[in-house]
Structure 1
């Protein structure tokens, strides 16, 4: 059984080139056909992949160039969801998002014509031997009691458990489809744990609300693990635990302490964990997240994707050594805390800045682990 394991990895999204933004605007205005848009997108993805490889990455993504949001495009292309415009934007600190959301309009199932399959097939077709193409999709937890997305569940399912089972099956079938297309590394991005961290803190003196939040956490573990159960053994499954990333701002804050025991139950091979500033808390919860699982790797997001300022190499190495007092060094890696563009707007830095960040990570990786991987 072969699993992906590198000390130098990246969450997945990259700044959208100006040509791509222009093409998407022209497509939305009816000035470009879908095929013309895809031709431009493919050319830019190919250029991105070449840069990823030049910068030493052994795992490449398509930068999420085919989507507007890191999560919503995937969800509204599953059967059983529809996009709509909600009243309010998402509550980021100091920035206002668009008001797009998704809601149920039927039972959730895999969509065999999901456009993400086409995007992955293209990525795989241009990925050279020895390099792994990675799929990034949102976790099913983004639907469970989050932003009104599951409010209509009992309109279509006989019970809440039936809904969770149906959601898990749709995800299982989707991930299996990616595998059948050649994917061997699938990452489920997840802001729900950041949401729960914030909510547990905000309601720590409210036993009733705490119990409700604990049920959400348990439902998330149940659904995620059911979705992952029975997938091929040579498929590497990762998750990225995020506190929000939009125009260099964030949604949630707080350490992993209140959710670590739940994360330690999730059957992932790799955990990308946000640790780029004081909002992330200490490394103490790493022991519960790792949970003694010798095959599990924790990727520490100690480099920020929100700012072009380059971190001090010695300070980052000191932080890695601090974490290594809790988790074996071989089971650790580093990355940016999130991608560079969780939405098409992107963070406040340049394309040149993002490559400098990756080169910094590569340099640190070589110093700590003696390799660039």
Structure 2
């Protein structure tokens, strides 16, 4: 099997990692005014140095900063786009797990002036990660996809005085993202991931019903999202590898949507202009591998077969059998392995320990070496 020399790698991971206790205390201290912003930044720096070293030690060829400077995987980015602010209203998202339902409330967003990129978002964060990673691992930057800006509020989030025509909103949003992509490439980013729950949520009939009720064209929304992501990536620099991660929600070991990738698969895999797809496949809720039949040659599929929602370690043989099943639909050389999602999509984290997290990442590296020799 040919060595994977560019991202995504045979053994990879989505991005967010469990925040260490010392960092959580520093965040609490900063919120209470007991430490300065500079002291919090120093605590984040220390935690990131440690977690990058961990990723290299387990044998991963890429590293993120664990999203340690963020409260949320997506809103910390979205609120930094010009023209987008917090609404007085809140959004309630219902998550579920084996024990029942939990509800997560967060501030809604409102687009009250033309969307634009005012500065390179996460520039200092990526620069620090790149310096810490050095030559040992490839630094990966994760940001929410353009779709997430729209999925959060839909047409109702747009001020009609600013955007009487939704097409202009999409044009401005894609342009802002195109500038962001070009800017992070100039900083030395060679591995960028667009995180997108919306394209997975749209497979769930209940989610589509909710969108229809608020005035969206739920049956065709994925086509618009694919088009706008492609527009944002159209001018990306040579040498920048881009992937997208699609899951059905990840908050305190719970999820928000269910269903296989069937509804979006043909358009998604054949049209989305990314180099690889991180896909959630850790339990029956994620559906079958059959939609992978639409993946064209040259695209990598990163199978999220190792769950981040529980600490119990998967069986190597079980994972290898599932890789074999997926290889019936897309060639083995186009497959990679990762956890199904991040370990801590919000600052809260999932219900497993640091050691369990490390064990899962190590398992992924070991299986990749045995399956692909990588």
> Into which bin does the TM-score normalised by the smaller protein fall?
over 0.9
- Which one of the candidate residues 198, 201, 204 is aligned to 1:195? 201
CA contact (8 A) 2:155 2:216 kept: no
| Structure 2 counterpart of 1:103 | 110
Residues 149 and 32 of structure 1: CA distance in aligned 2, closer, same or farther (over 3 Å):
farther
CA contact (8 A) 1:145 1:216 kept: no
**Number of aligned residue pairs:** 365
Spell out, residue by residue over 1:293-346, the C-alpha distance to the aligned partner (whole angstroms, 9 max, x if none).
x22100000110000011111111011011111111110001100000000000
| Structure 2 counterpart of 1:74 | 77
Spell out, residue by residue over 1:22-51, the C-alpha distance to the aligned partner (whole angstroms, 9 max, x if none).
111111222222111111100110000000
Aligned Cα root-mean-square deviation (Å): 2.2
Q: Structure 1: which 4+ aligned runs deviate by more than 4 Å?
A: 200-203, 207-211
- Which one of the candidate residues 188, 207, 229 is aligned to 1:182? 188
Partner Cα distance (2:163, 2:215) in 1:
26
Q: TM-score, normalised by structure 1?
A: 0.93
- Which one of the candidate residues 356, 364, 370 is aligned to 2:359? 356
Residue 306 (structure 1) aligned with residue 309 (structure 2) = yes
| Structure 1 counterpart of 2:58 | 55
Q: 1:1-373 to 2 correspondence within 5 Å?
A: 3-84=6-87, 86-93=89-96, 94-112=101-119, 114=121, 116-148=122-154, 151-199=157-205, 203=209, 212-264=217-269, 265-288=271-294, 290=295, 292=296, 294-371=297-374
CA contact (8 A) 1:200 1:210 kept: no
Q: TM-score, normalised by structure 2?
A: 0.92
Residues 14 and 343 of structure 1: CA distance in aligned 2, closer, same or farther (over 3 Å):
same
CA contact (8 A) 1:296 1:331 kept: yes
Residues 73 and 149 of structure 1: CA distance in aligned 2, closer, same or farther (over 3 Å):
farther
Partner Cα distance (1:237, 1:63) in 2:
18
Partner Cα distance (2:335, 2:158) in 1:
41
Spell out, residue by residue over 1:48-93, the C-alpha distance to the aligned partner (whole angstroms, 9 max, x if none).
0000000101110000001000100000011111124534521111
CA contact (8 A) 2:117 2:177 kept: yes
CA contact (8 A) 1:6 1:333 kept: yes
CA contact (8 A) 2:64 2:141 kept: yes
Shift of 1:101: 3.0
Shift of 1:149: 7.3
Q: Which runs of 5+ in 2 are unaligned?
A: none
Spell out, residue by residue over 1:84-114, the C-alpha distance to the aligned partner (whole angstroms, 9 max, x if none).
4534521111223242332212111112153
